[in-house]
Structure 1
Amino acid sequence: MVEFLFTQANLPFSISLFLVLLLGISEVLSLMLGYSLVGALDNCAPVDADIETSFTGFTGVSGWLCINRLPLLIWFVLVLISFSFVGYVSNYLALIMTQQMFPQAISLPIALVFTAISCRYVGAAIARVLPKNESNAVSIDTLLGSVGTVTLGCAIKGNPSEALVRDKHQQRHYILVEPEMSGVEFNTGTQVILLKREGTVWSAARFDS
């Protein structure tokens, strides 16, 4: 069994499992010191749980993978465990049926695909049972008047781009913004103020501090 776990074909999956163990030990030690890695990483997470999953780009992918529904550390552990489990199982089945394990060029893509599926469905199941902090929950409409920063692409009227906005609790929201008027462009890094929302897109104006 030990030889199977640490063979060259299973090396990426063994490293992934070792990282899970390392994160678990780190979390226990941090809790003993009165500090939680789960909370710390969640505060640094680039997406917020209230964002609508119908957004395109990064927010659409993050919504499908449930990044925005789980604390970042828990999501990362789910990825590592799923990756290791699928890799080990696929190589074990290959060993039984063909007397040899998959090369990494085959096992890694298989593991990545099923890891994504695990994040989608197992992550959603975990999110449903995790306690939620309702005191910090905000409606997306409360972002009206907030100042955000365009993080991706160039926004023009009719072609929105992503922007990062913080609510009153300093939680991060990735939203879609477009200029209120035609002929205006918001390049990456432009600060904008949110004026109104239509569906998933916010109309905004350039913010001059």
Structure 2
Amino acid sequence: MDAVIHMEATMVDFMLTQANLPFTLSLAFVLILGVLEALSLCIGYSLVGALDDWAPSDIDSNGVGPHEVSGLTEIAAWLCLDRLPLLIWFVLVLISFSITGYISNYLSMAISNELLPQSVTLPIALFFTALSYRYVGALVGRILPKNGSCAVSIDALLGSVGTVTIGCAIKGDPSEALVKDQYQQQHCVLVEPELAGVEFSRGTRVVLLRREGTVWSAARFDS
């Protein structure tokens, strides 16, 4: 028991050293995002869907034709930004950054009994983070559908049919719904009834009628 306590104390000391501070802060930010997402889901909202609605669905550049790809778009594609919801991509970046930094300093401690300075570990962590979420992101992207891909803008979802997945939507208090576009890709959107006095409980099928900001007015869909 004493050995376990000592090991835990040593690990905490290792994570809280000045050399590991950026990596510990990154990991702490991931935990904060997890708590915020859990709380937002409790009130019928989702940070994942909200960030994807806020973010542009594609990246354009002045003078770039429809069959050309700008350098920025190539970088975004290489980093899997077009395959993952923005929040999940950001979490993968933070976790990869933290793990890579910890491993660098752990190996340094094992070899030389000293921690590397941040001027050394930060470039190493950033380099391996880019490689990590390039391949890990591609793997996750095959499993987890991205909201709003294949150049489908959020407005192109007009008339799409979806299912309320969280909470009970009423006028002025939207809930999250899962919608499929013409490519059968899934999108998380916020919906509310078009008319007051109507409720969309979980499992209700709805059709999107009009968008105001990030919220869609919808009507019950009876097939």
8 Å Cα contact 2:104-2:121 kept in structure 1:
yes
Pick from 149, 156, 164 the counterpart of residue 168 of structure 1: 156
Secondary structure of the corresponding residue to residue 129 of structure 2: helix
Give the letter for the 1:27 counterpart.
E
Determine whether 1:100 maps to 2:114: yes
Question: What residue number does 2:12 align with?
Answer: 2
Secondary structure of the corresponding residue to residue 168 of structure 1: helix
Pick from 76, 79, 91 the counterpart of residue 90 of structure 2: 76
Pick from 17, 30, 55 the counterpart of residue 69 of structure 2: 55
CA distance in structure 1 between the aligned counterparts of 2:56 and 2:76, rounded to whole angstroms: 10
User: How far has the Cα of 1:130 moved from its partner?
Assistant: 1.0
Structure 1 segment 24-173 matched on structure 2, within 5 A: 24-48=34-58, 55-131=69-145, 168-169=156-157
Secondary structure of the corresponding residue to residue 68 of structure 1: coil
User: How far has the Cα of 1:43 moved from its partner?
Assistant: 1.0
8 Å Cα contact 1:47-1:67 kept in structure 2:
no
User: How far has the Cα of 1:99 moved from its partner?
Assistant: 0.7
Determine whether 1:22 maps to 2:10: no
* Aligned CA-pair RMSD: 2.7
User: How far has the Cα of 1:132 moved from its partner?
Assistant: 5.7
CA distance in structure 1 between the aligned counterparts of 2:45 and 2:57, rounded to whole angstroms: 22
8 Å Cα contact 2:85-2:146 kept in structure 1:
no
User: How far has the Cα of 1:68 moved from its partner?
Assistant: 1.1
Q: TM-score with structure 2 length normalisation?
A: 0.58
CA distance in structure 2 between the aligned counterparts of 1:107 and 1:77, rounded to whole angstroms: 20
Structure 1: segments with no counterpart, 5+ residues? 144-164, 171-209
Task: Give the paired residue count.
Answer: 142
Secondary structure of the corresponding residue to residue 115 of structure 2: coil
Shifted more, 40-49 versus 22-31: the winner is 40-49
Q: Do the aligned partners of residues 27 and 126 (structure 1) sit closer, same or farther apart at CA in structure 2, a change above 3 Å counting? A: same
Structure 2: segments with no counterpart, 5+ residues? 1-10, 60-65, 159-223
CA distance in structure 1 between the aligned counterparts of 2:146 and 2:115, rounded to whole angstroms: 42
User: How far has the Cα of 1:85 moved from its partner?
Assistant: 0.3
User: How far has the Cα of 1:46 moved from its partner?
Assistant: 3.0
Give the letter for the 2:156 counterpart.
K
User: How far has the Cα of 1:168 moved from its partner?
Assistant: 2.6
8 Å Cα contact 1:38-1:74 kept in structure 2:
yes
Secondary structure of the corresponding residue to residue 35 of structure 1: coil
8 Å Cα contact 2:101-2:121 kept in structure 1:
yes
CA distance in structure 2 between the aligned counterparts of 1:87 and 1:137, rounded to whole angstroms: 32
